[in-house]
Structure 1
Amino acid sequence: MKKTLFSLILSSLLLPGQAQDFDTYFTDRTLRVDYLFTGDAQKQEVYLDELCALPHWAGRRQHLSELPLEGNGNITMKDKATGEVIYRTSFSSLFQEWISEKEAQSVKRGFENTFLLPYPKQAAIVTIELKDVRHRTSASFTHEVNPNDILIHQRGSTHVTPHRYLLKNGEAKDCIDIAILAEGYTAEEMELFYRDAQAACDAIFAHEPFARLKDRFNVVAVASESEDSGVSIPRKNEWKATAVSSHFDTFYSDRYLTSRSVKAMHNWLAGIPYEHVVILANTDTYGGGGIYNSYLLTTAHHPMFRPVVVHEFGHSFGGLGDEYAYTSEPSPMYPYDIEPWEPNITTLVNFESKWKDMVPEGTPIPTTPEKDRKLLYSKVGVYEGGGYTLKGIYRPTTECRMKINEAPRFCPVCERALEKMIHFYTY
């Protein structure tokens, strides 16, 4: 009963007040914008790399000028003639994580980043902003998009990567479209990939709120072939030629598996409707990574594959923060005097904006961790430890899918945040 009431309230809050604007300003195509994020810890810059046109638009057609989450950056598109904001989206990036690493103090690097925008009918002005850990603009770049520009690269109309739908509930305009890419699978291993992709799909939709709202999603497995089987493990001096050139040891962390070949990911997907990208690596080495509104990458043959892919999807789809902690030192990503934008961690600076309404009256803050296993994942409080640090950052429950692999579910706060995101995209 409570879930039904929540859904009704959420629906009333997210009524598509701007649904009519899509046909006013956009065509049923995608403008793919490729940027380079460059710099070091002291200074960052954004450069335009390439504009591409894709055949269809799979993104939202309502709440066009709203952001579901703040993220670590945002993109705003304005109609050039009127100055009206016609589309906004937010994101995080591997580059912004790298800035907090020691290497960024002495080395300048560039990272690829790709974003999908609805294709404007008339000239538009696009502004992209990167935010620092204090939520201040650290870099911005503004450019004009002429939809008739002959140098906008037309992709996806002639060659489309072989693919197979694992879940098909409707047209792309009505559903959230998830694409699962193969990484480190040769042509001879594609049936193995399709089985692994089905396992990933089943794992995600075994969790709430995805199970209850499964009819809002399409899932397609995309057979992006690699020359070599497996993925690169630099610490073992193993380097493979793979579809998106992923590797472990990102930022010298053994299990952090990522790719900086972001354009390659999107080139494989050209011509297939998609919004969110899941990449499965053909290896049994433990690891993964998920970046909000960018991609997730995880290993397909480790025993913990299923809980890990769900955890990383919590990052890439829902913008959820990590609830685990391993040091008493402050995290460079989460200053104690700033409220994190992630919905499931807090510094208590602005707890009203988080899950305060879900904390039972009389619950002490901080809350003593539960010992009763029945309450580990469900009793909402304010438990110290999260966002990688044991002190000053708080999480909603004792345990959660965003904290440990053994958790059977997301905590109630994470479930609510994910449900809100699904409604944002589909109402």
Structure 2
Amino acid sequence: MKKTVWILTLGLSLCGHAFAQNFDDYFVDKTLRLDYIFTGNADKQDICLDELSSLPQWAGRHTHLSELPLAGNGEITMKDKATGKVIYRTSFSSLFQEWLGEKEAKVLTRGFENTFLVPYPKQPAEITVTLKDAYQKPSATLTHEVNPKDILIHQRGMSNLTPHRYLWKGGSSEKCIDVAIMAEGYSAKDEALFYKDAEIACESLFDHEPFKKLKDRFNIVAVFSESKDSGVSIPRNNEWKTTAVSSHFDTFYSDRYLTTRSVKAIHNWLAGIPYEHIIILANTDTYGGGGIYNSYTLTTAHHSMFRPVVVHEFGHSFGGLADEYAYDEAPSPLYPYSVEPWEPNITTLVHFEDKWKDMVKPGTPIPTKPQTDEKLLYTKVGVYEGGGYTKKGIYRPTTECRMKINEAPVFCPVCQRSLERLIRFYTE
């Protein structure tokens, strides 16, 4: 529901494997979990290392290791210390960076948990974490060394794993994208209900292209992270629950924005279970959700719009797709008009050639008039004004899309292409 991502590196599908680095040259089959605290305010931001943990296996990609999947609002780069060679890169967005666009960030300094997964290096490595501002310029950077033999790297996931069951298994973690569906606000008596809801979420995802045709490139595991209370916190109603990851509505005082800042708790529940992307189901019928690129999807499971919303939010957290709806006349602080957004499905036309210009029929007017033919609402690619929360100056690919309205039955062709490119990036 909130923000998230950008286009794959030009020519990514053409990079081939001629220059591909061999995973086994630099990594063992384990995960290095990086816990950070992002702190600061609208004027100044900092990054603090919190903790390093080791997980029993690596569930991420084995190819394109030194390439970014998407640009994101931040980057992690790992270098081999001895040679200085880049051996792994990934990107992300964070709730902290969204908060920086809020009025509160002008008068208050806060800290937010953030956790990232990288392959476990064989030899000492240097890791650099960089946050970028709305103009895509570095705003904070931290570089630190990791010695894989450090005795204080916390060993997690070796025993007492959270109860879980696979809903779909396309193959090995080396060849597939591992998605964990977690329980939030499901008490012990709600276990059967959670697994039923997780099945619905899984079905909903695979009802949409390109996930449907590339289903065999995914593994989906449902993880019963038990809460003390049933339901989730709704601050505006003075309802506070004790739940697995302490989620709540009213994030940034927005009724529908459902998130959690307890990111370490999410990953503690999942330790030892192969996972790369995360969907959290909230046991509530209150409408809402949130999706943050390479962090998590969190969505209500018992509202009538559960099916479309969980897919929409996964479009954010997995695919880095932006919201295509608009409600403000003034530009969002996240999307200055002078900068091309890094999300693949919105544009300011600053560098439209990097977006979906190749999918627009020559002679199509810009902006494009919204389609009225129901058959063309979701498929006729053009340059339609309104997106990224702003009515003017930001454009989306089609009149309607899963990233714009819940009633849309599909992702638009531009979103589908971007998602497919990303799936292939992770698995080929």
TM-score normalised by structure 2 residue count = 0.97
- Cα pair 2:308 2:406 within 8 Å, conserved: yes
- Cα pair 1:168 1:219 within 8 Å, conserved: yes
Confirm whether residue 140 of structure 1 aligns to residue 145 of structure 2.
Answer: no
Aligned to 2:174, the other structure's residue is in SS state helix
Aligned to 2:371, the other structure's residue is in SS state coil
Within 5 Å, give how 1:311-390 maps onto structure 2.
311-390=312-391
Structure 2 equivalent of residue 189 of structure 1? 190
Q: What amino acid does structure 1 have at the position aligned with 2:27? A: F
Deviation at 1:16, TM superposition (A): 3.4
- Cα pair 2:21 2:65 within 8 Å, conserved: no
- Cα pair 2:26 2:87 within 8 Å, conserved: yes
Structure 1 equivalent of residue 268 of structure 2? 267
Structure 2 equivalent of residue 307 of structure 1? 308
C-alpha distance in 2 between matches for 1:405 and 1:308: 7
Deviation at 1:113, TM superposition (A): 0.1
Deviation at 1:187, TM superposition (A): 1.1
- Cα pair 1:255 1:287 within 8 Å, conserved: yes
Q: Could you say if the C-alpha distance between residues 134 and 63 of structure 1 is closer, same or farther in structure 2, counting changes exceeding 3 Å?
A: same
C-alpha distance in 2 between matches for 1:381 and 1:293: 28
Q: What amino acid does structure 2 have at the position aligned with 1:331? A: S
Q: What amino acid does structure 2 have at the position aligned with 1:87? A: Y
C-alpha distance in 1 between matches for 2:421 and 2:378: 20
C-alpha distance in 2 between matches for 1:386 and 1:174: 35
Aligned to 1:418, the other structure's residue is in SS state helix
Deviation at 1:379, TM superposition (A): 0.3
- Cα pair 1:18 1:64 within 8 Å, conserved: no
- Cα pair 1:315 1:321 within 8 Å, conserved: yes
Aligned to 1:130, the other structure's residue is in SS state strand
Deviation at 1:188, TM superposition (A): 1.2
1:265-318 deviation per Cα after TM superposition (whole angstroms, max 9, x unaligned): 000000000000000000000000000000010000000000000000000000
Structure 2 residues without counterparts, runs of 5 or longer:
1-9
1:154-176 deviation per Cα after TM superposition (whole angstroms, max 9, x unaligned): 00011210100000111111100
- Cα pair 1:399 1:407 within 8 Å, conserved: yes
- Cα pair 1:17 1:62 within 8 Å, conserved: no
C-alpha distance in 1 between matches for 2:16 and 2:62: 12
Q: What amino acid does structure 2 have at the position aligned with 1:423? A: R
C-alpha distance in 1 between matches for 2:20 and 2:214: 21
Deviation at 1:327, TM superposition (A): 1.2
Q: Could you say if the C-alpha distance between residues 312 and 14 of structure 1 is closer, same or farther in structure 2, counting changes exceeding 3 Å?
A: farther
Structure 2 equivalent of residue 217 of structure 1? 218
Deviation at 1:24, TM superposition (A): 0.3
C-alpha distance in 1 between matches for 2:378 and 2:12: 26
1:102-126 deviation per Cα after TM superposition (whole angstroms, max 9, x unaligned): 0000010000000000000000000
Within 5 Å, give how 1:30-69 maps onto structure 2.
30-69=31-70
Deviation at 1:15, TM superposition (A): 2.6
Structure 2 equivalent of residue 6 of structure 1? none
C-alpha distance in 1 between matches for 2:146 and 2:268: 20
Q: Could you say if the C-alpha distance between residues 184 and 18 of structure 1 is closer, same or farther in structure 2, counting changes exceeding 3 Å?
A: farther
Structure 2 equivalent of residue 203 of structure 1? 204
C-alpha distance in 1 between matches for 2:11 and 2:411: 19
- Cα pair 1:383 1:396 within 8 Å, conserved: yes
Deviation at 1:130, TM superposition (A): 0.1
Confirm whether residue 85 of structure 1 aligns to residue 60 of structure 2.
Answer: no
Q: Which has the higher contact order (CA 8 A, sep 6+)?
A: 2
Aligned to 1:416, the other structure's residue is in SS state helix
Q: Could you say if the C-alpha distance between residues 141 and 187 of structure 1 is closer, same or farther in structure 2, counting changes exceeding 3 Å?
A: same
Aligned to 1:307, the other structure's residue is in SS state helix
C-alpha distance in 2 between matches for 1:269 and 1:101: 31
- Cα pair 1:321 1:342 within 8 Å, conserved: yes
- Cα pair 1:52 1:153 within 8 Å, conserved: yes
Structure 2 equivalent of residue 176 of structure 1? 177
C-alpha distance in 2 between matches for 1:341 and 1:308: 22
Q: Could you say if the C-alpha distance between residues 42 and 151 of structure 1 is closer, same or farther in structure 2, counting changes exceeding 3 Å?
A: same
Aligned to 1:172, the other structure's residue is in SS state coil
TM-score normalised by structure 1 residue count = 0.97
C-alpha distance in 2 between matches for 1:389 and 1:362: 25
Q: What amino acid does structure 2 have at the position aligned with 1:13? A: L
Q: What amino acid does structure 2 have at the position aligned with 1:319? A: G
Q: Could you say if the C-alpha distance between residues 239 and 88 of structure 1 is closer, same or farther in structure 2, counting changes exceeding 3 Å?
A: same
Deviation at 1:14, TM superposition (A): 4.8
1:250-273 deviation per Cα after TM superposition (whole angstroms, max 9, x unaligned): 000000000000000000000000
Structure 1 equivalent of residue 6 of structure 2? none
- Cα pair 2:70 2:320 within 8 Å, conserved: yes
- Cα pair 1:331 1:387 within 8 Å, conserved: yes
C-alpha distance in 1 between matches for 2:13 and 2:168: 28
Q: What amino acid does structure 2 have at the position aligned with 1:63? A: H
Q: What amino acid does structure 2 have at the position aligned with 1:73? A: G
Q: What amino acid does structure 2 have at the position aligned with 1:364? A: P
Aligned to 1:378, the other structure's residue is in SS state coil
C-alpha distance in 2 between matches for 1:279 and 1:17: 38
Structure 2 equivalent of residue 26 of structure 1? 27
Structure 1 residues without counterparts, runs of 5 or longer:
1-8
Structure 2 equivalent of residue 395 of structure 1? 396
C-alpha distance in 2 between matches for 1:357 and 1:284: 42
Confirm whether residue 16 of structure 1 aligns to residue 17 of structure 2.
Answer: yes
Deviation at 1:21, TM superposition (A): 2.3
Aligned to 1:375, the other structure's residue is in SS state coil
Question: What's the Cα RMSD here?
Answer: 1.1
C-alpha distance in 2 between matches for 1:284 and 1:201: 19
